[in-house]
Structure 1
Amino acid sequence: MSAQWKSASARTPNLARLQRQAINAFEERQFDKAERLCAAILEYVGDHFDTLHLLGYIHLQRGRNVEAIAALSKAVKANAASVDAASNLGLALHNAGRLDEAIAAYRSALALSPRHPEILYNLGNVYLARDRITDALASYDETLANNPSHVGARVNRGNTLLRFNRPADALESYERALVLSPDHPQILTNRGHALRRLDRPQQALQSFAIAIDKSPDFPEAHFESALAHLTLGDFEPGWKAYEWRWKTNAFADKRRSFRQPQWLGSTPIAGKTILLHAEQGFGDTIQFIRYAPLLARSGARVICEVQSELMSLLTPLQGVEVVAEGGALPPFDLHCPLMSSPLAFGTELATIPAQVPYLAAPADRVTQWRDRLGAERLGEGRPRAGFVWSGSPAHKNDANRSIPLARLNELFANLPFACFSLQREMRQPDREALQRLPQLVDLGSELSDFSDTAAVISLLDIVVSVDTAVAHLAGALGKPVVILLPHAADFRWLRDRSDTPWYPTAKLLRQPAFGDWDSVIGGLAEEIAGLAGVSGGH
């Protein structure tokens, strides 16, 4: 007991009673009363540890992270030996997004109690939020070493292993979590996701079905089941379940809210004005913009809101008014998220609108690029190929879909092509590898938008790309394109086929086993060898 407490108690004998009342009020979840009692105590004893800790914990329970941090910081200062105070401070800091400070607080707590499983687990969660996945995995492993039955650590260990692109190990972690908590819908859904990543969509669907049976309104399970159905070509249940995306954590805050009703194909649209709005990545917009002219041919006035980087490319679409995201919208009667278009049209495999080209490079850009590159740089007399070997590093599936440029060295050494990089974002190791490939002309840094990319593609004979927007662009332009895919590819590429109903000029090369890019690269060399006799004249 502090000297200040003794002195205050001598002057105000009811302090101990106030503290008991505050604790009782907290335990009875009378938080307002508990806060008032804590405040009364702190008027007399401003550094009373137990009261500061209790007040901070009340704020933490009520989601008042700023107030919790203030009270718990004072509590830690009043008693630096308290494991709980340091741990709760870490939790409040994590909730407030102050991740580095949260890590420091948890480390302080672990200095006092190095084997505390809950603190190790919470530290792992902060590391995961901070993208320090190696540290996160180590923290979860330490948690489980001290408490093998910690379900959260099993689950988040699996989540971390997925970030390492280790779905088989993640699946094992989820399976062990399900032994401890067999009916948990999130764990069942995570297991299904790992199975999808292992190209086992039928088994994934079984896991999602159990999750939905346990929790019928669990959005993540429905959305994941949509991806599995679409991968299998089961479009009717797939596109229907795809609408659950708006209730998932990943999409809930991205849903557009309009006073006009959403259109999903159930009402006639002739004579109406409809807004189609882009919702995901550039490639998604390029792929599904094909539905806009169909709406126009149905008698609707069509407005398409798209990313600004696509404006000049998409503006010439027949019968469609294109506007940029973030700008003022013209009046409209109905709206439809772009990736809900297949559902609205009742799209099946056999009815995919697959006529290409449905996009074209602006003629003035093509002329500019032909003049800019010149005959020598264009490699007149040789076939021309454009390459994209990696996607955006920020993409959640980047580790699975991208190829380090250095792995393509042998391919470039033996290609009788004029080779051009269309890679706009480039990692430092790839920049270094590019320096050692003089035969690969880097155009990526010169491409200002997708119209530039389309213009360059129009001057090429073939495009080779991993699963990025450039692959979609080449397909939409009707250009021969070889798309390099991981073993478990995105749902739109289906399974067990080397063609795609979305792009008739595309050839798909898939990893035969998880992580096997060498076989893909070998197949690519064979695939494009037949083009060596193309004249290259354009």
Structure 2
Amino acid sequence: MTGSMKSLLQDGVRRHQAGDLAAAQRCYEAVLAQQPDQPDALHLLGLLADHHGDHLRAIDLIGRAIAQVPDQAEWHGNLATALLAAGRPADAEVSYKRAVTLDPRYVEGHYNLANLLRGRGDAAAAAAEFEIALALQPGHVPARNNLAMLLWEDLGDTAAAGRHFRLLLALAPNAASVHMNYGLFRLSAGAYAEGWVEYEWRWRNEEYDERDWGLGLPRWDGAALKGGGLLLWGEQGVGDQILYGTMLRDAAARSGARVAVAVDPRLVDLFRRSLAPHGITVVARGTPIDAAAQCPFGSLGRWLRREAGDFAAGGIDLVADETRRTALRARYQAMAGDRRLVGLSWRSTNRRIGVDKSIPVHDLLPALRQPGIQWISLQYGDCAEDLAALRGAGIAIHDDPAIDGFRDLDGFAAQVAALDDVVTVSNTTVHVAGGLGVPCRLLLPAGRGRLWYWPVSGNICPWYRSVRITRQTQAGDWTAALAAAIGP
């Protein structure tokens, strides 16, 4: 490389590090204009392409750099990251493993490989890679955080997870994501008083992208209000809003104030019908409200669910549209004859752990052949292929085209209320059934995929009186759980 090209490349690196990516790109391209196979410029330009979301170009550029210099561990790691972003996890795994083979002390390589392995369900191998990364760099906060989460969520080793969380809190006392995760960990263990306090750190966590719907009002401190109203607003998904909504009537009683509840627009009719008889106003989030204080739903537990006994205080007691419920039940009974009407939902669309919570349709078949049942699909989203597979196997399952379980939640609630029972994985369906008081059997995975609010043992759900829990006995095998939940 000539002196001028070296200077141009160095200038590009300086601009890259300073965040002037457009100028850095011009420098790298200028180098390649003179020497098309210059490996450093290819690699760095590939990093920029990956940053801008052009993963295929990144793969090409970094791959060409590696062809020139095959022994740079970090380059293989960066190629793996681009491959993973491009939807090629198997190829990414090969590249990450090549990276840590070339340089066993490459911390980020072990860390990224661990995340990939966890994503594809190999928790033991992922834990080993996290441990290697931490042996090399004990202060690597993301690696220790992800290992703690893996030990808790995937392997159920709460003692080891707790040790790592405590180390994290000492290492990074101001890390909002660590406090938030620790809060969920403690809530899952039933340590509610501590857990809710730690969970408040979610509002400082940049990865928690929930909008603040509190209208700029002062935060409620859990005490009785001497004047003015109280705005309680729903955060997270509609299922979470129903779950936290079990505390709304208690909050109204505790505050002694005029209470307004703001929720996802899809929940307004259902919540209004259920809460108006208790003197609670329900509006869509963002509606101007005259109030003295506000509180997000997920913060109510700090004042109202501090110990296990507090869960006996009450629920949300959702009320379905009786006209729609009656019409749906009559229609379904005419179709089913003397068979019981049982709703079924088998998939979760959760982006992070939906696959872990869902049941493959072929695993459903043996249990669904139970006689005397007319199955009613409560599965929202595009499930035409699954339904065809069930019907092709002789399963009597009805999918009602008049009900849109995603957009028309009031109609969905009427549908659930029209049934005798519900069998579902952990998704919105269980919250609707539990909120309505419809008998519901909840199927939970043995490893990753059990959300913090479902208890770690026993079949009783503290949030919903009508929900009973059945768990996998072995991760990935739903046979016994389905038989237990659906059996006679």
Is TM > 0.5 for Structure 1 vs Structure 2? Answer: yes
Does structure 2 retain, via aligned residues, the 8 Å contact 1:387–1:421? yes
* Alignment pair present for 1:516 and 2:474: no
Q: 1:157 to 1:524 in 2, by over 3 A?
A: same
Residue type matched to 2:412 in 1?
A: T
Tell me which of 314, 319, 326 is aligned to 1:355.
314
Partner of 1:155: 111
Q: How does 1:52-451 map to 2 (within 5 A)?
A: 52-197=8-153, 198-251=155-208, 254=211, 258-265=215-222, 267-297=223-253, 298-316=255-273, 317-318=275-276, 319-325=279-285, 327-352=286-311, 355-356=314-315, 358-370=317-329, 373=331, 375-377=333-335, 379-392=336-349, 394-426=350-382, 430-436=386-392, 437-443=394-400, 446-447=403-404, 448-451=407-410
Are 1:525 and 2:486 matched, yes or no?
yes
5+ long unaligned stretches in structure 1: 3-15, 17-47, 530-538
Distance 1:262 1:129 in 2: 40
d(CA) in 1 for partners of 2:191, 2:41: 53
Structure 1: distance between partners of 2:12 and 2:358: 46
CA distance in 2, matches of 1:413, 1:84: 61
- The residue that corresponds to 2:427 in the other structure is 468
Q: How far is the alpha carbon of 1:209 from its aligned partner?
A: 0.3
Q: State the one-letter code of the partner of 1:212.
A: L
Residue identity matched to 1:500: C
C-alpha separation in 2, matches of 1:161 and 1:249: 25
Judge conservation of contact 1:286–1:476 (CA < 8 Å) in 2.
Answer: yes
* Structure 1 residue 100, shift from structure 2 partner: 3.0
Q: TM-score, normalised on structure 1?
A: 0.83
How do 1:7-86 residues align onto structure 2 when only pairs under 5 Å count? Answer: 49-86=5-42
In 1, the alpha carbon distance for the partners of 2:100 and 2:362 equals 38
Number of aligned residues:
478
**SS at 1:209 equivalent:** helix
Offset, 1:500: 1.1
Is the CA contact (8 Å cut-off) linking 1:282 and 1:307 kept in structure 2?
yes
Distance 1:430 1:73, change over 3 A: farther
SS in 2 for 1:190: helix
2:247 partner letter: Y
1:444 to partner: Cα distance = 6.8
Shift of residue 194 of structure 1?
Answer: 0.9
- Do the aligned partners of 2:317 and 2:435 also contact (CA within 8 Å) in 1? yes
TM-align CA RMSD: 2.4
- State the alpha-carbon separation in 2 of the partners of residues 386 and 364 from structure 1: 19
C-alpha deviation, 1:518, in angstroms: 1.7
Equivalent in the alignment of 2:452 = 491
Are the structure 2 counterparts of residues 117 and 255 from structure 1 closer, same or farther at C-alpha, using a change threshold of 3 Å? farther
Match of 2:453, SS? helix
Q: Give the C-alpha shift of residue 419 in structure 1.
A: 0.8
8 A Cα contact 1:269 1:299, kept in partner:
yes
Distance 1:64 1:334 in 2: 44
Given that residues 128 and 136 in structure 1 are in contact (C-alpha distance below 8 angstroms), is that contact kept between their aligned partners in structure 2? Answer: yes
Q: In structure 2, how many angstroms separate the alpha carbons of the residues matched to 1:253 and 1:468? A: 19
2:179 alignment partner, SS class:
helix
Task: From the superposition, tell whether residues 53 and 336 of structure 1 become closer, same or farther in structure 2 (CA, over 3 Å).
Answer: same
* Distance in 2 of aligned mates of 1:427 and 1:124: 33
- Identical residues among aligned pairs (%): 28
Q: CA deviation at 1:202?
A: 2.5
